[in-house]
Amino acid sequence: MSILDQLNPQQREAATTIEGPVLIFAGAGTGKTRVLTHRIAYMVQEKQILPEQILAVTFTNKAADEMKERISQLIGARASQVLADTFHSVCARLLRRYGEHIGISPNFAIYEGYQEGQRANNALDFDDLLFKTVELLESKPAVREELQARFPYILVDEYQDINYAQYRFIRLLAGTRGNVCVVGDDDQSIYSWRGADVRLILSFQKDFENTRVIKLEQNYRSTRKILECAHHVICQNETRAEKKLWTENGVGENLVLHQAVDEDKEAEWVAATIVRQVQKSGMRYGDYAILYRINAISRAFEIALRGRGVPYQMVGEMSFYDRAEVINLVAYLKLIFNPSDAASLRRIINTPVRGLGSNMLNCLTQVASEAGVTLYEALPLLADDSRLRQAQRHAALNFYDMVEGLRKDAEQMGVAELVSRVLDRSGYLKALRNSKRAEGAERADSLNEFIAGAVKYQQNAQEPTLGGFLKRLAPLADTDKPRGLDNSVSLMTLHAAKGLEFPVVFMAGMEEGICPHKRSIHDEFELAEERRLCYVGLTRAKHMVHLSHARKRTIFHKVRERQPSRFLTDLPQELVDHSGVSAYASRVRVRRNTTSRAATYADVRETAGGSAPSKAPRTQKKAPRVPGTPVLDRQAAEIFHPGTKIVHDDWGNGVVVSISQDGTLYMLTIRFEKRKHGVKKMLAGHPKLKAR
């Protein structure tokens, strides 16, 4: 039996088109990995290409391991001769072998630096490592030519996720021969915050002449109704390659739309629906996934699932109550409730940073031991301690005074108000909001959701007290939780769901300001990515999709009216069951026969989570941009010149060192003021980059 027998015609074409540049658009559930591995097997077995001449790169160790395993199943021991690995591992290997040409020692110190940086920001330091490899290939023609001869056949997985450094790496290795095959789906490009640029896959045909374009559109995962709904969402994006998934699977059931009174009722409906279906249909808890745009809203679902004894697992993230920002806030509350809690004091005395580090804590411990008092009681005793600098003594007393003030507040105000006061007086929330780290805003969202939980406790408890609230949190924050089991409901963000599939998917929090995220509503580039996120969520489902949103959501300690996500209006209404939507929602629901969607959001009031779109949505999508159409940064490039001062949303201030054109792309070399960011290369049209 031929290794190609189990491939459909489009997959077979993709697997057997070996020479020249090949762009494979592989839609969700179309068998992308099968095509890649069968292509390699075909090259080795049928075309007699030496396996050591093949380079296959992907993004994660998991994907690389899966690729190696599947290749091994097809061609046996010869699979080990194929260099199939992550960008990081391939670059590390090349730098070990050739790094001395650009001053990198054989012991590979740069690798250690990359790992240290990775803990803070994986993508940035990943780029730093790649830049050294690109520098090697650009500056040493002999090395470049040697590697081009060694790897005449290159395959790249998940090409929609590459950044500019990875693009340069591939282009330099491909050389003039251009036997490079890339596989990806621009409709699933959701990592711009990590440096990925969807324009790179869309401009592939321009960068590599005579590209063969192959589209994998037969979906093996979802029902027809799910695919039709997903297509109606994604086709609203203007800049995309035109394609439409189809399937020989059954028609399937309508999507279900549910509107809840608030976030807790939404979570209770999801949990109750899962339990009911498991009991009646014989499905397993492991068949279900709850997807959401932001981590913060997982709190309500964890509580609802626990309340019904439903096992669950957090995929790609921590439980809400295990997150550092939540643990820190709880530590503040514990210290206010019990000043003798030394563990809580140690945790938050320098959170946010107050100059009260380990040296000060050692001194405090010694003073407490000598005086026979608790750590908290020892704080005022540091006022005249000569072992500490004046600034440290001052900071220690300020911390003590702050906690004392909060203890008095706890006697007079409700729990929710106290939590808000703690975040304000401590400066913790402000520090997270001002953080340049990408996750700072998300952590602030988690604290917002924590306050919402405090509000709910205050509303429902007969005698709400700080002690009662902490007692209620204890079982949620312990380690004896019904999660992490084989047969358990999966909770995850839409980002974490990419590449996964489930029989039944719940997409929760489908509201303006959540999905799409409030930061993207007024930015067309970011809004397009939010739409792709929604598309990714829909295409995770095999048989059934449930969509839910809340009429009201507690934001800090105020209840805010919410509006349904604009993405819900893109769905063909005849394929959506609205039985769970009240008459209220019908005012903002769009039917496909209306002539304009402007009325949908005409009465949307600005809320803490988002506001009405600045212009009425389109009634018809514009012609999509097809691969090969130039994607230029020319207009942006005219703004930037060597010496131009810039500001980046995440990395802060910098200055343009140089600008260069690479095919259709304009690239800036920027030196950032903060040493940890150093010199970076970025596309001139990057949405997070602005001139000062």
| pLDDT score at 530 | 97
Share of the chain above pLDDT 70, in %: 83
Between 210-214, 355-359, 442-446, the lowest mean confidence (pLDDT) is in: 442-446
CA–CA distance, 560 with 513 (Å, rounded to integer): 12
Tokens of 144: 């470049």
Lowest mean pLDDT of 9-13, 281-285, 497-501, 673-677, name the range: 673-677
Cross-strand pairs, 320: none
CA gap 444, 439 in Å, rounded: 9
User: What average pLDDT does this structure show over 441-445?
Assistant: 78
CATH topology of domain 9-218: Rossmann fold (3.40.50)
What pLDDT, on the 0 to 100 scale, is given for residue 673? 81
The answer to whether 136 and 95 are in contact (CB under 8 A) is yes
Residues annotated as part of the active site: 32-33, 157-158, 188, 540
Q: Using pLDDT thresholds of 50, 70 and 90, give the confidence band for residue 588.
A: very low
* pLDDT, mean of residues 360-388: 89
> How do the domains of the chain map onto residue ranges?
9-218, 255-317+481-601, 322-475, 634-691
Architecture of domain 322-475: Orthogonal Bundle (1.10)
Cα 552 to Cα 221, 260, 298, 569, 579: the distances in Å are: 34, 8, 16, 19, 19
Decide if pLDDT at 451 tops 50: yes
Model confidence at 239: pLDDT above 50: yes
Q: How confident is the model at residue 663 (pLDDT cuts 50, 70, 90)?
A: low
Mean pLDDT of the chain: 83
Task: Say how far apart CA 224 and CA 227 lie, in whole Å.
Answer: 5
CATH code, residues 255-317+481-601: 3.40.50.300
DSSP string, 333-387: HHHHH-TT-HHHHHHHTTSS--S--HHHHHHHHHHHHHHT--HHHHGGGGGG-TT
Q: Which of 204-213, 323-332, 426-435 is the least confident region? A: 426-435
Checking 613-618 for CB contacts under 8 A at 24+ apart, the result is 613/521, 613/566, 614/522, 617/236, 617/566, 617/569, 618/236
What pTM does this model have?
A: 0.70
- Mean pLDDT for the stretch of residues 455-483: 72
277-291, 364-378, 609-623: which has the minimum mean pLDDT?
609-623
Rounded average pLDDT over 489-514: 95
Domain 322-475 and domain 634-691, same fold? Reply is: no
Alpha carbon distance 222, 252 (integer Å): 9
Angle formed by the axes of helices 415-426 and 390-412, nearest 10°:
170
Q: How far apart are CA 533 and CA 188, in angstroms?
A: 7
* C-alpha triplet 624, 565, 294: angle, nearest 5°: 100
Q: Could you tell me which CATH number the domain at 634-691 has? A: 2.40.10
Q: What is the pLDDT of residues 391-425, one digit of tens each?
A: 988 999 999 999 999 999 999 888 988 999 999 99
Percent of the chain scored above 90 by pLDDT? 51
Is the model's pLDDT at 231 over the cut of 90?
A: yes
Distance CA 84, CA 36 (A): 11
- For 213-227, 378-392, 400-414, 569-583, which range has the lowest pLDDT when averaged over its residues? 569-583
Whether residue 644 has pLDDT greater than 90: no
Question: Considering only 126-140, 278-292, 675-689, which range has the smallest mean pLDDT?
Answer: 675-689
Name the pLDDT band for 256 (thresholds 50, 70, 90): very high
Write the CA distances from 249 to 9, 227, 372, integer angstroms: 17, 10, 74
Q: How many CB atoms lie within 10 A of CB 621?
A: 14
- The pLDDT, as a whole number, for residue 577 is 92
pLDDT at position 612 is 34
Task: Show the tokens assigned to 622.
Answer: 């514009």
Per-residue confidence at 557, pLDDT binned at 50, 70, 90?
A: low
Q: What is the mean pLDDT of residues 534-543?
A: 98
The pLDDT value given to residue 423: 92
| Pick from 158, 164, 154, 205: nearest CA to 186 | 158
Asked, as a colleague might, if the bond just before 380 is cis with ω within 30 of 0, I would say no
CA atoms of 360 and 362, how far apart (whole Å)? 5
Q: 689 pairs with which residues across the strands?
A: 648
Read off the pLDDT of each residue in 363-378 and give the average, rounded to a whole number: 90
- Give the span between the Cα atoms of 617 and 603, in whole angstroms: 14
Q: Please, what is the angle between helix 415-426 and helix 440-460, to 10°?
A: 150
61 has pLDDT over 70: yes
**Phi-psi map region of 49: left, alpha, beta (phi>0 left; psi -120 to 50 alpha):** beta
> How many CB atoms lie under 10 A from the CB of residue 52?
13
Distance (Å, whole) CA 240 – CA 187: 7
Q: Which of 534, 555, 665 is nearest to 233 (CA)?
A: 534
Task: Compute CA 483 distance to the chain's CA centroid, rounded to the nearest angstrom.
Answer: 22
